[in-house]
Amino acid sequence: MDPNQRIARISAHLNPPNLDDQVQISLNSLLNRVGCRAKGGSPGFKVAILGAAGGIGQPLAMLMKMNPLVSVLHLYDVANAPGVTADISHMDTSAIVRGFLGQSQLEEALTGMDLVVIPAGVPRKPGMTRDDLFNINAGIVRTLSEAIAKCCPKAVVNIISNPVNSTVPIAAEVFKKAGTFDPKKLMGVTMLDVVRANTFVAEVMSLDPREVDVPVVGGHAGVTILPLLSQVKPPCSFTQKEIEYLTGRIQNGGTEVVEAKAGAGSATLSMAYAAVKFADACLRGLRGDANIVECAFVASHVTELPFFASKVRLGRCGIDEVYGLGPLNEYERMGLEMAKKELSGSIEKGITFVKK
Ligand SMILES: NC(=O)c1ccc[n+]([C@@H]2O[C@H](COP(=O)([O-])OP(=O)(O)OC[C@H]3O[C@@H](n4cnc5c(N)ncnc54)[C@H](O)[C@@H]3O)[C@@H](O)[C@H]2O)c1
Ligand SMILES: O=C(O)C[C@H](O)C(=O)O
């Protein structure tokens, strides 16, 4: 198709001829006011990465710069943000990149953002649990969330910093205090568990990992990571030995990388890949694409706990629907009880940290 014809077709889609200008403007301002994106809004999204100079932040920034849905990319860190920004900004893709260094530039980094991705914080070393990171990362996530509440309260927020089972409740509590909490906008990123589960199941079943879809629910630490192998697509039948091997490997995927890196940090490259996969799903949802379904750790009524990871449908306002768990087998029901027990303490710890 001739490029001019293509532009005309796209703009007709963004601005349907049956809406007169005044109606379109009112619709846009109404949707903006409730924190949703309108048809006819900017074709690109503004994305900030907080912790952009870190092990995850750098490859994540590179992959986001390659994403055609991103028009503006803000890279914030307390160290080395200018260097990473200069480097990434030379890539010949369309997103405009700006760097922000240190607390004094945090508010500028956040103003006007549609999506904020947070990989700021310290990673594990061998022998540590994710909860051992709480003392340092809880404060970092609280500070960053306070700035989000002030500067871009309608942004979708993707939290990567560990322990996710506590940092998401921390962010929620900060937003509640500020009066800006919208459960549709806050998501803990558990996509790496799904990415790992797809890979390991594909290995066992000799499938192409791109064709495998494993729901992983619960949370993001040890036994709270609950792969639902009875719901794998395409349908697979596993032996009990395979189920135990796969469940253990998926739950310990993070530790496998921490030990292999032997003190040099935790998963960064696979995490950047997973973070971009999830961020891209959020952006496609904001754009209005249909049927965008991914797993994430979110405010939830799926169990008695206030937060839980399950499949969610992403849309123009963030999360449009949180799905239930579907039918579980006996092994998964036992796993669910163990997951809930541990999750409950981690969620409470996050909430108490902000309330105290
Ligand atoms: N959700 C997941 O699946 C998942 C996967 C891997 C890692 N993680 C977590 O992501 C976090 C980051 O891991 P990493 O390997 O990139 O660590 P890293 O140490 O390589 O990078 C962290 C970055 O955060 C920056 N930072 C520290 N304090 C900050 C602040 N107050 N504001 C902004 N930036 C700040 C640091 O300067 C650094 O550049 C860790 O907590 C890790 O456990 C989560
Ligand atoms: O394991 C870690 O500490 C990092 C991350 O949560 C992971 O799952 O790789």
Q: How far is CA 173 from the centre of its chain?
A: 18
Report the run of H or E that residue 250 belongs to, with start and end: helix 240-251
- Distances from the Cα of 290 to the Cα of 22, 90, 129, angstroms: 27, 34, 38
With the most atoms of ligand 2 within 8 angstroms of its CB, the residue from 130, 166, 250 to mutate is 130
pTM: 0.91
Instruction: Reply yes or no on whether 220 is catalytic.
Output: yes
- The pLDDT tens digits of the residues spanning 171-207 come to 999 999 999 999 999 999 999 999 999 999 999 999 9
**pLDDT score recorded for residue 31:** 46
* CA distance from start to end of the chain: 61
Whose CA is closest to atom 7 on ligand 2? 254
Tell me, what's the ipTM?
A: 0.99
Q: Which atom of ligand 1 is nearest to the CA of 137?
A: 41
- Distances from the Cα of 7 to the Cα of 11, 13, 14, 70, 288, angstroms: 6, 10, 11, 19, 19
- Selected catalytic residue, list 74, 90, 220, 301: 220
215 CA to centre of ligand 1 in angstroms: 25
40 CA to centre of ligand 1 in angstroms: 35
Return d(Cα 71, Cα 283) in angstroms, integer. Answer: 11
168 CA to centre of ligand 2 in angstroms: 15
149 CA to centre of ligand 1 in angstroms: 20
Return d(Cα 181, Cα 64) in angstroms, integer. Answer: 26
Contacts of 284 (CB under 8 A, 6+ apart): 69, 292, 314
**pLDDT score recorded for residue 36:** 61
Return d(Cα 305, Cα 56) in angstroms, integer. Answer: 29
- Listed in sequence order, the DSSP H helices in 90-216 are 106-110, 134-151, 164-178, 191-205
- The pLDDT tens digits of the residues spanning 303-350 come to 999 999 999 999 999 999 999 999 999 999 999 999 999 999 999 999
With the most atoms of ligand 1 within 8 angstroms of its CB, the residue from 116, 141, 161, 216 to mutate is 161
Tell me, using a 6 A CB cutoff, whether residue 196 lines ligand 2: no
Residues in the chain where the model's pLDDT stays below 70 = 1-43
| Structural tokens at position 35 | 């924190």
Whose CA is closest to atom 8 on ligand 2? 254
Tell me, using a 6 A CB cutoff, whether residue 254 lines ligand 2: yes
21 CA to centre of ligand 2 in angstroms: 49
